[in-house]
Structure 1
Amino acid sequence: MVISTDPAWGDAVDQFVQEYENAIVYADIDQETVLHEGQVRVLANGWVELPTERLLSPDAVHHIDTQTG
């Protein structure tokens, strides 16, 4: 049996990653609890990556507002 060391999805997963330069990550619907402001990456599995390489769980994030400009 031959087992590859390359990921099964390869680079295809990167196509589902969304990057935002200016965003606000909220923990609640009322927008009272801000988890992060600034650059974020939303990974294909729903986790939110911060510039410090810290990850926020999809369960912790209620929504993300993106800012233009």
Structure 2
Amino acid sequence: MVFSTEPAWSDIDEAFTQEFQNAVVYADFQQETVIHEGALRLLANGWVELPSGRLLSPDAVHHVDTHPERES
């Protein structure tokens, strides 16, 4: 039997990672508390990675709006 030395998780992780250039991260349902606005990566494990490298826990994030409305 042959076993790979490469972890399978990295392939799965990249397949489910999504990147957004314009998103808003909210901490509450009412959308009153904004945690982050701008580019981000949504990781397969539910964590949100910001451009600075900081990670936001799934426990801290209520939802991510990937199509924020633009006010005129």
Could you say which TM-score interval applies, normalised by the shorter chain?
Answer: 0.7 to 0.9
Pairwise CA RMSD of aligned residues? 2.0
Aligned-residue sequence identity (percent) comes to: 64
For structure 2, the 5+ residue unaligned runs are none
Shift of 1:10: 3.6
TM-score (normalised: structure 2) = 0.81
TM-score (normalised: structure 1) = 0.85
The letter for the 1-side match of 2:34 is V
- Partner residue in 1 for 2:21: 21
Shift of 1:65: 0.6
Count of residues in Structure 1 that have an aligned counterpart in Structure 2? 67
Alignment of 1:55-66 (within 5 A): 55-66=55-66
For structure 1, the 5+ residue unaligned runs are none
Query: Secondary structure of 1:12's partner?
Result: helix
Moved more, 7-16 or 19-28: 7-16
